[in-house]
Amino acid sequence: MDLLNTLVDKGLRRELPTRDEALAVLATSDDDLLDVVAAAGKVRRHWFGRRVKLNYLVNLKSGLCPEDCSYCSQRLGSTADILTYTWLKPEEAAQAAAAGLAGGAKRVCLVASGRGPTDRDVDRVSRTIKAIKEAHEDAEVCACLGLLSEGQAERLRAAGADAYNHNLNTSEATYGDITTTHTYADRVDTVRKAHAAGLSACSGLIAGMGESDEDLVDVVFALRALDPDSVPVNFLIPFEGTPLAKEWNLTPQHCLRILAMVRFVCPDVEVRIAGGREVHLRSLQPLALHLANSIFLGDYLTSEGQAGKADLEMIADAGFEVEGAGEATLPEHRVCGGRPEDGACGSGTGAPCAASASSATSPAAGGPRPDLVAVRRRGAGTDLAPNA
């Protein structure tokens, strides 16, 4: 297929595809799916070999959020039956992080619900970062605390944070349809603050919220322009008790097409399969490793994921290997200061780095699968052992 040959050539040169080319990837048929995966897989292997980076989430504060993001089980007004608790103590968070690191994770992602951190919150998270680093000096730590105020990114960096996550989630044109308590521009501003502070920027999207293929391309092109080092691709988990509980729009095949499109647009970036992979990719998860070079190990913020042991077996059975703590995640040109205008798609900060053919809203094969949405009842905030 001429389209795929063109996209592979562009990916190996770090050249941005056209919007029409990106849309064409999402419009390919299921008959062509393996060809799409194989083509994007060439780009993935060129920049990242067969390595898979493991990341581990620690939910520092669950629920209790004043924001109204429609996709989120922790939102204002959510009736989802999730764990709710206020801030973990630094030693509790460090203990939770240790479980993930022992399970093979290279990066710990410290997440707290809320609009954004107060200065006191930044102090608390800074103590947690220092506790993790003292016990695991090679561990990467990414903070995800919401919208940042002036100077907060610098303080997190000084405390030892390596990265900051803040997702764009969807296109600018449709952002107001999913959230009203803050703006798309607020999110862009926080990613830029992380960049400016020397943190490795992590920013991604959520697919399956009823958006069009054009919206998906818009947000991925916006991410390319923002230049993050890692792009998490989330697939909506339709929690009962949230406004999007009935949005079962994804097939495993379309999820793979979305991941392939992201790889072609950001070829040398850490593409991470994030929340919802078990719910929507299901038995096709191993194929997704040919597109993404990073996954979350074990559970998510408020939902349970595949068993950590099963994650490791899946990686090995698919012919991939877990990335070691001493291995650089990103290609050398990104760490050493590649510029976006030269085709790079990353910060170059030197920081440790880390459906139907026409629409993303096609009916899911076999219909909705609420049986696959399991609320997290173990790990951080509970007395039960974590899944790692």
Q: Which residue numbers are catalytic?
A: 65, 69, 72, 109, 142, 202, 272
Q: How far is CA 20 from CA 26, 60, 249, 308, 342, in A?
A: 10, 41, 22, 38, 21
Minimal CA–CA distance to 274: which of 243, 250, 238, 298?
A: 298
Do residues 238 and 247 make contact, with C-beta atoms less than 8 angstroms apart?
yes
Alpha helices, DSSP H, located in 273-371: 277-280, 285-288, 308-317, 332-335
- If you count them, how many residues does the chain have? 388
Taking the C-alpha atoms of residue 367 and residue 67, their distance in angstroms, rounded to an integer, is: 30
Buried/exposed code over 275-307 (b: 16+ C-beta within 10 A; e: otherwise) = bbbbbbbeebbebbbbbbbbbbbbbbbbbbbbe
Tokens 């590649």 map to which residue?
Answer: 338
Measured in degrees and rounded to the nearest 5, phi and psi for residue 169 equal 75, -50
Taking the C-alpha atoms of residue 114 and residue 313, their distance in angstroms, rounded to an integer, is: 35
